[in-house]
Amino acid sequence: MEIVTEPCFHSKEDVLEYLRELQKIMRFVGASDADMEKGQLRCDVNISLRPEGSHELRNRVELKNLNSFQQIGRAIDTEVARQTEIYDENGTIDQETRGWDDEAGESHSLRSKEDAMDYRYFPEPDLPPLIITQEYIAERKIAELPIDRRQKYLNDWKLLPDDARILSSDRAMSDFFEKTVQLSSDSKKSASLILTVILGIMKKGDEEVEFTGLKITPQNLARVVEMLKNDEISSTNAQEVVRILLNEGGNPDEIVAQKGL
């Protein structure tokens, strides 16, 4: 799948946020794991500058096959600085494709960049046009995307922005959270236990956290939330019960009784 945008980004931060959101969508709908380090998602960045106050972009340079968010950020910074220096010296930028050497922190010219007319496109007679109707799209509309859930967590469930962002970033974690809230009717306490205890234990370095096959279930976590709301256990003891459930499984009420909590 290739996705091409309009030249609509005006900062490195915009580019990276767009790509992170795109990665979340690919994962959320099950289209791809979208792991950049494994080559499942890569990015070509086209960069062009314009004088302040001007609306006309100058020649663009394409940086090919960038395969990490950090790499993309470094490449953008370096290319903007390179073009700026050339323009400041009254030079011109060739419209070209460049390769990026992340270890050296620099790019090198690969080939001139053609305009669309130079590609000499022609119709393939064995591949007729594929017309996708709005009815076809509507039938296959995905119920919720990460941004939909994030907005719900912010506006309806009144979570903090960072909490809403994290809990909507992964489909399995988001489903786990939503099921817990459905059973406990308390979004904030459910979110707190997932973010501070479960993620705190599971998160090691930069590894992705897998929310499938956990020993703790949404039903058990909801029961802990219920006990916490009813002042049957303290916040500290609730965290201890969640730790035991995550590591060993079991029944929350039995754990509370056995541990004298």
Identify the domain containing residue 103 by its residue range: 12-115
Check whether residue 161 and residue 212 sit in a common domain.
Answer: yes
pLDDT tens digits for range 65-95 = 899 999 999 999 999 999 999 999 999 999 9
Buried b (16+ CB within 10 A) or exposed e, 191-230: bbbbbebbeeeeeeeeeeeebeebebebebbbbbbbbbee
Give the lowest-confidence range in 56-65, 133-142, 175-184. Answer: 133-142
Check whether residue 183 and residue 102 sit in a common domain.
Answer: no
Give the lowest-confidence range in 32-41, 158-167, 202-211, 233-242. Answer: 202-211
Check whether residue 153 and residue 91 sit in a common domain.
Answer: no
The answer to whether position 6 is within a domain reads no
The answer to whether position 127 is within a domain reads no
Compute, in degrees rounded to 10, the torsion defined by CA atoms 247, 222, 157, 34: 40
Instruction: Among 93, 115, 137, give the residue marking a domain's end.
Output: 115
The CA radius of gyration of the chain, in Å to the nearest whole number, is: 25
Check whether residue 180 and residue 110 sit in a common domain.
Answer: no
Backbone angles phi, psi at 213, to 5 degrees: 75, 25
Check whether residue 81 and residue 169 sit in a common domain.
Answer: no
* Number of structural domains the chain divides into: 2
Check whether residue 89 and residue 151 sit in a common domain.
Answer: no
Check whether residue 166 and residue 249 sit in a common domain.
Answer: yes
Q: Which residue has the tokens 């930069």?
A: 206
pTM for the whole structure: 0.78
Check whether residue 151 and residue 252 sit in a common domain.
Answer: yes
The answer to whether position 43 is within a domain reads yes
Question: Does the pLDDT of residue 140 top 90, yes or no?
Answer: no
Reduce the DSSP state of residue 89 to 3 states and report it.
Answer: coil
The answer to whether position 16 is within a domain reads yes
Check whether residue 87 and residue 162 sit in a common domain.
Answer: no
The answer to whether position 130 is within a domain reads no
Check whether residue 89 and residue 168 sit in a common domain.
Answer: no
pLDDT tens digits for range 185-243 = 999 999 999 999 999 888 765 556 688 888 999 999 999 999 999 999 999 999 999 99
State the pLDDT confidence band at 115, using cuts at 50, 70 and 90: low
The total of other beta-carbon atoms located within 10 Å of residue 80's CB is 15
The answer to whether position 152 is within a domain reads yes
The answer to whether position 131 is within a domain reads no
The answer to whether position 132 is within a domain reads no
The total of other beta-carbon atoms located within 10 Å of residue 25's CB is 16
